[in-house]
């Protein structure tokens, strides 16, 4: 069922300052895969929602077998500590002139639902991975592409996109990108980083220190053993931005949009007065407080006699607004500034010992 796009009502944009360091969709993923190799007489839906509890059986009914990449990918999903309720699967369609453009596959999935944040391609060609990354950057909804690669030290995606995360895997059938997405999407946005996370069902990768550093230099993550624990290493997207920051930003946009939209739905009218404007500001503050509770926004901090707030908000006075804007019923210049809580990934310790 189609629904009104909330971006048409509540336009929220957040930029992450380089000087300062839910919706259900944030727990859901979309797997993009080739058509079944031997579908038999089965009817394969171009896009489908598969229940995690019966996903393998549903895939078999749709014509997939254990020889198809999506089957192995779904097995990786089912190894997660916390299972999603559903997993979306979009099939790159075969046509009379070859396989369709991967951008068409992604758009078909977006037309079907906007209830996912992570996008995991499996069994897709490298050229299509590049095209998929470029298409994903243009998605206004805000999604993250998780790409798996067996390359070491070589970029599989060019252009340094902010919304593509590349993860090393020993072989394509490891489905490490799917495993990582399953692990991190189960965590509340703002509560965790993408680094030092365990991926159930994935073996640690036999990499030298120089190989790990070479991949880290080009923002490719990997899965290593650290003091007997298998953990992800490298928490950035291709652009060099922290992946958890991208996730939290998208989540915060969603929370503000939803709270303002809920206000419009609940109230018979939100007046274009200081009273109505303060209601909008309260929605902003409520979302920011949720962001602070989640761990994404910093607490207020005291430096000497000065308190540095974790966030501030500002809205215009009703009397200061132009009559043309009031006639259009568009409230502009509602702003906030927030400090990210960030995370510690590396520590430098220096000390001395004295006899």
Q: What gap in Å lies between CA 170 and CA 54, rounded to an integer? A: 28
Q: For residue 96, what pLDDT band results from cuts at 50, 70 and 90? A: confident
231 or 15: which carries more pLDDT confidence?
A: 231
Q: What is the pLDDT of residues 239-273, one digit of tens each?
A: 999 999 999 999 999 999 999 999 999 999 999 99
Burial class from Cβ neighbours inside 10 Å (0-12, 13-18, 19+) for residue 225 reads middle
Q: What gap in Å lies between CA 186 and CA 235, rounded to an integer? A: 16
Average pLDDT over residues 91-104: 93
User: From the centroid of its chain, how far is CA 39?
Assistant: 32
Q: What is the pLDDT of residues 192-202, one digit of tens each?
A: 999 999 999 99
Parallel, antiparallel or unpaired: strands 98-99 and 94-95: antiparallel
Quick one: what percent of the chain has pLDDT higher than 90?
81
Looking at residue 132, what DSSP letter applies?
Answer: H
Q: What is the pLDDT of residues 284-316, one digit of tens each?
A: 999 999 999 999 999 999 988 899 999 999 999
Q: What is the pLDDT of residues 132-186, one digit of tens each?
A: 999 999 998 899 999 999 999 899 999 999 999 999 999 999 999 999 999 999 9
Q: What is the pLDDT of residues 15-54, one digit of tens each?
A: 665 433 346 899 999 999 999 999 989 999 999 999 999 9
Q: What gap in Å lies between CA 342 and CA 21, rounded to an integer? A: 7
Average pLDDT over residues 71-96: 95
pLDDT reported for residue 12: 73
Q: What is the mean pLDDT of the chain?
A: 92
pLDDT reported for residue 2: 63
Contacts 24+ apart (CB under 8 A), 256-260: 256/10, 256/12, 256/283, 256/284, 256/287, 257/6, 257/7, 257/9, 257/10, 257/12, 258/6, 258/23, 259/283, 259/284, 259/286, 259/287, 260/9, 260/10
Burial class from Cβ neighbours inside 10 Å (0-12, 13-18, 19+) for residue 283 reads buried
pTM of the model: 0.90
Backbone angles phi, psi at 160, to 5 degrees: 50, 50
Average pLDDT over residues 100-115: 96
Could you report how far apart the first and last alpha carbons of the chain are, in Å? Answer: 75
The C-alpha R_g of the chain, in whole angstroms, comes to 23
pLDDT reported for residue 321: 78
Q: Cα torsion at 227, 232, 233, 235 (round to 10°)?
A: -140
In total, the chain counts a number of residues equal to 355
pLDDT reported for residue 325: 76
pLDDT reported for residue 21: 31
Q: What gap in Å lies between CA 10 and CA 34, rounded to an integer? A: 36
pLDDT reported for residue 20: 30
């Amino acid at each position: 069922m189609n629904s009104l796009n909330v971006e048409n009502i509540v336009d929220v944009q957040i930029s992450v300052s380089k000087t300062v360091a839910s919706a259900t969709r944030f727990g859901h993923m979309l797997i993009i895969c080739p058509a079944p190799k031997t579908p038999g007489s089965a009817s394969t839906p171009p896009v489908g929602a598969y229940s995690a509890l019966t996903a393998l059986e549903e895939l078999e009914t749709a014509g997939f077998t254990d020889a198809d990449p999506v089957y192995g990918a779904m097995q990786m999903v089912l190894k997660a500590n916390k299972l999603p309720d559903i997993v979306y699967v979009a099939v790159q369609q075969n046509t009379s002139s070859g396989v369709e453009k991967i951008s068409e596959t992604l758009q078909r999935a977006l037309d079907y639902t906007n209830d996912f944040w992570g996008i995991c391609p499996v069994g897709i060609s490298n050229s299509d991975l590049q095209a998929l990354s470029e298409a994903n950057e243009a998605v206004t909804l805000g999604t993250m592409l998780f790409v798996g690669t067996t390359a070491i030290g070589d970029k599989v995606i060019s252009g340094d996109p902010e919304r593509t995360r590349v993860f090393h895997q020993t072989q394509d059938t490891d489905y490490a990108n799917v495993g990582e997405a399953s692990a991190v999407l189960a965590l509340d946005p703002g509560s965790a980083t993408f680094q030092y996370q365990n991926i159930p069902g994935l073996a640690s990768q036999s990499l030298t220190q120089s190989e790990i550093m070479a991949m880290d230099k080009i923002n490719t993550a990997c899965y290593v053993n650290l003091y007997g624990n298998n953990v992800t290493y490298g928490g950035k997207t291709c652009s060099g931005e922290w992946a958890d920051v991208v996730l939290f930003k998208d989540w915060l946009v969603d929370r503000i949009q939803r709270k303002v939209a809920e206000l419009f739905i609940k109230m018979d009218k939100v007046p274009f007065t200081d009273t109505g404007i303060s209601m909008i500001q309260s929605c902003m503050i409520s979302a920011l407080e949720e962001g602070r509770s989640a761990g994404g926004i910093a607490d207020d901090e005291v430096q000497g006699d000065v308190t540095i707030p974790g966030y501030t908000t500002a809205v215009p006075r009703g009397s200061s607004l132009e009559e043309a804007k009031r006639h259009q019923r568009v409230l502009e210049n509602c702003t906030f500034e927030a400090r990210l809580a960030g995370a510690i990934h590396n520590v430098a310790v220096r000390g001395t010992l004295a006899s």
